Structure 1
C-alpha cells in the first residue's frame, strides 16, 4: 500500500477534520514531480484516460514517484515540440512519452539511465500489407508518412533503407491514417512499440524494425540531482530477475496484447549494470565532481586541451529603461597560445534577464571551414574570482556549465573552461547616464581561455 492510501486508512478513525489536516500536511511534505505526458494514445506504451497516465509508461512513472516519495503531477502535452519546450523552459521537471535517445535530442535535454525500453522504426499499413513490399529495399520510390519530430527524420538521410523514400511529415497519427486511407501515401513510419497506432494501421511484419534505439525519461540539462534520483528509482524497478517490477509492467501491457518480450529489457533485468545492455550504456567518464564548497578544478583530474588567446571588443549600448550602458555582446578572434596560429573566433549573444550565451567556433586559417564549436550557457554556473595561486589575476572559472559541442570540442569532451589574464573590456569610467539615441561604446578586450577535459587514465 502506498504512503497516501495508508494514511487514508489510519486517519479514517481520527475524525474528518483532523484527518483532512494531517493528510494535507503529509502531502505538502512530499516534493512534487511534474511530468510531461503525451496526449496521443500510443497503446500499449502510453495513453491518458481522464487525465491519468496508463500503459507501460504510466505504470512506470507512477512507480518511480512512489519509490521516491514524490507527489506526481501529470502535465498533458500534445506534441513533441510541446514536450521539448516545456522541459527546457521548466514547465515540467521530466518527460516520459516514447522519447527515443538520439544525439540531436541529447543537445537539448538530459536522458536518464537506465532506459526503460527500446524500439525501432516500423512500417504500418492497412492489414499490415503493402502490395509489392516484402523488404525495406522494396520501398524505393514510395511515399510514407511520419510524425513531426520523429527521430527517423534525422536518421533517414544516413539510412540506406530510407534514402530513396519520400517522407511526408504529419502532426498526428490521425492525419497519417487519413493519408494512407486516401492513397496519398503508401504507409506510415512510427516506433515499433506502438502496436496499432490507428484502427486501419498495423505493422508490416515482413519488415523487421530498423534504427532500434533506447527510450528514456528526459530531464532538463543540468538537472543532475533529479536525474540521479530517477536513476536510483529505475534501478530498484529493474532488480529481482524474473520478479523485477518492470517486467510485471511489460506483462500487463505489451505481453497482454500478444507482443514478444523486449530483448533489451530482458538483458537489462538479467544484469542491471552499465555496459551489459543497450538500455544501460557505460556513461562517459566525467572525472569526479567539483565539491560544492570548491570553486577550483582538481588539477590531478583535468588537463588543458586547448588554450586560446582571444582579442576583440566588448560592445555596450544604451538601455532605455535604466538609462545606462549595458554589455550587449562581444566578438573576438583566437590564436593558439603555444604557436600563435589562428584558432577561430568567439562571440556572445544576449540572453534573457541580462544573461549571455557564449560560443567558441574553431575554424581554419581563413575562417572558411568550421572545425567544431562549443556553446556555454553562462547563467547555469560561472564564478569570477582571483586565482588562489595569484590573487592579482582576475579569473573566470566556468563549472557545471551546460555545453553544446561538436567536432574538435567533442572529442575529447570539454568539461570545464577558464578565462584568465583578462585585460580591458570594461565600460570606461565616466560613461554615465545615456539615452537610447547615444552611440554604442566599443572597448578592446583580451583574455586567455583554456578548455579542460578529463586527464587520461582518470
Structure 2
C-alpha cells in the first residue's frame, strides 16, 4: 500500500462492540512495529492431507506448508504481541482458524502498516492481514491524495466491518466531539490509515488561522504515547482499537472516545491480483468458519461481534 492507499478501516459494516465489550487480553502491548522480522509464533493449522479445503490452495503454498502474512502487530485488540512476543488478537485467531481449513500455517511477519502492500507486491508476504480497510483506491492501486495510480492494486477477502473513532485524554476533550471540531487542534494518527486520510480531508476545510495540525506516526502505540503526554489534543484510530485503548490504558484512566465512529467499512485480507487461486481459497475458508460458528466465537472473544459479516465477499469495499 502507499501511505494513504493502505488505510486500516472501511466497507459496509456495523459498529463494533462498545469499549466495555472489548476483551482485555492481559497482554503486554509492544510498540516496536517496523522491524520487518518474522513473528516467532505460528498460528497452528492441521496437516494438508486432512484439511477439508487444502486442495483449493495453489501447489506452491501447499508444498511450502505456510502462508506468510504481513501485519502491523501493534494494533490491539486486532493484532498485537503478548509478553512472550507472540502475535495475538482477532486477526491471528482468525488466521489460525483459516489454517485449520486449509492445512497450512499462517505465519505473521511484523511490518509498518504503510509498507504492507508494498511488501505484498514485492513478494515479501503472500497476503496482508492487518485490520486493513477494503476500498477502491487500494483495489486499484490509486493514491487517494493525488488520485494517480501508483502501483498494481490488490484484491480483498472481506471478513469484518468497523469504523473510525476520535479519542482524547480523559476529562480533557478540548471541546472536541467530532471531526468538525478539530480545526485549531493537533491530532495524532497512524501513517497510511483512514484516520490519516480523514484528518487530511478535514484540514482542508479549516479556516485561516485555525489550522489542524496532523502528527503521523509509524504505529498506533506511538500516537497513544503522544496523546498521553499532552503533545496533541486528540488521536484517531479504528473503533475497536480506540475502544481497547480507552479500556486498558492506565487502567481506563487515560483516554475517552468522543463523538460517533465514522467511515464504517470492511476489513479485508489483501491478496495480489495475480494470486486468484489463493484469494479464492481464503474466501472459501473464511466462509467455512463463518458457517461452522468458529468465526462468531472468535469475534465474541475480542468484543468484535457487532462487526460480524454473514458471508465473506471479494472486494466489497467502496
TM-score tier after normalising by the smaller chain length = 0.5 to 0.7
Residues 209 and 163 of structure 1, relative CA distance in 2, 3 Å threshold: farther
Displacement, 1:175?
3.1
Cα drift, residue 70 of structure 1: 1.5
Tell me the distance in 2 between the aligned counterparts of 1:210 and 1:181.
Answer: 23
Tell me if 1:72 matches 2:106. yes
Pick aligned residue for 1:179 from 226, 240, 243:
226
- Give me the whole-angstrom Cα distance separating, in 2, the residues matched to 1:273 and 1:51: 30
Structure ranking higher on relative contact order (CA contacts 8 Å, 6+ apart): 2
Distance across 1 between alignment mates of 2:192 and 2:66 = 28
- Match of residue 76 from structure 2: 43
Kept in 2, the 8 Å contact 1:273–1:280? The answer is: no
What's the counterpart of residue 115 of structure 2? 82
The answer to whether 1:120 aligns with 2:168 is no
1:93 aligns with 2:137: no
Q: Distance in 2 between matches of 1:281 and 1:105?
A: 12
Mapped to 2, the partners of 1:210 and 1:84 lie a distance apart of: 24
> Could you say which residue in structure 1 is the equivalent of 2:283?
231
Match of 1:138 in 2: 181
**TM-score, length-normalised on structure 2?**
0.66
Distance (Å, rounded) in 1 between the aligned partners of 2:133 and 2:92:
17
d(CA) in 2 for partners of 1:207, 1:282: 24
CA offset digits 1:37-80 (Å, max 9, x no partner): 2232x222111334533111011011111101123322222x11
* CA distances 1:116-166 after superposition (whole Å, capped 9, x unpaired): 212222112222750323344332322111111112333445559x83333
Partner of 1:163: 205
Q: TM-score when scaled to structure 1?
A: 0.47
What secondary structure is seen at the aligned counterpart in 2 of 1:217?
A: strand
State how 1:329-348 maps to structure 2 within 5 Å: none
Question: Which residue among 102, 107, 110 is the counterpart of 2:154?
Answer: 110
Map 1:361-372 → 2, pairs under 5 A: none
* Structure having the higher Rg: 1
* Residue number in structure 1 paired with 2:20: none
Runs of 5+ consecutive residues of structure 1 not aligned to the other structure = 8-26, 256-260, 284-458
Q: Does the CA contact (< 8 Å) of 2:161 and 2:264 recur in 1?
A: yes
**How many angstroms does 1:216 deviate by?**
0.7
Distance (Å, rounded) in 1 between the aligned partners of 2:130 and 2:312: 24
Call closer, same or farther: CA 1:273–1:217 in 2, change over 3 Å: closer
Partner Cα distance (1:152, 1:158) in 2 = 10
CA distance, structure 1, for counterparts of residue 117 and residue 162 of structure 2: 20
Q: RMSD across aligned C-alpha pairs, in angstroms?
A: 3.2
On the 8 A contact 1:37/1:53 being kept in 2, the answer is no
CA contact (8 A) 2:265 2:317 kept: no
| Structure-1 residue corresponding to 2:300 | 251
Please list the CA deviations of residues 389-435 of structure 1 after superposition, one character each: whole Å capped at 9, or x if unmatched.
xxxxxxxxxxxxxxxxxxxxxxxxxxxxxxxxxxxxxxxxxxxxxxx
- With over 3 angstroms needed to count, the CA separation of the structure-2 counterparts of 1:134 and 1:151, relative to structure 1, is closer
Which of 183, 192, 196 in structure 1 is aligned with 2:244? 196
Structure 2 gaps of 5+ residues are 1-43, 51-60, 142-151, 207-211
Provide the rounded CA distance (Å) in 2 between the counterparts of 1:105 and 1:202.
31
Matched-pair contact (CA < 8 Å) for 2:45–2:97: no
Q: Mapping of 1:403-442 within 5 angstroms?
A: none
In the aligned structure 2, how far is the partner of 1:60 from the partner of 1:38? 16
Kept in 1: contact 2:174–2:233 (CA 8 A): no
- Aligned residue-pair number: 241
What is the DSSP-based 3-state SS (H/G/I as helix, E as strand, rest coil) of the residue aligned with 1:152?
helix
Corresponding position of 1:57: 91
- Structure number with the higher strand fraction is 1
Decide whether the 8 Å contact of 2:71 with 2:113 is kept in 1: no
Q: Compute the displacement of 1:208 (Å).
A: 0.5
Q: Does residue 219 in structure 1 map to residue 271 in structure 2?
A: yes
**How many angstroms does 1:280 deviate by?**
7.4
Distance 1:110-1:282 versus aligned 2 partners, 3 A rule: closer
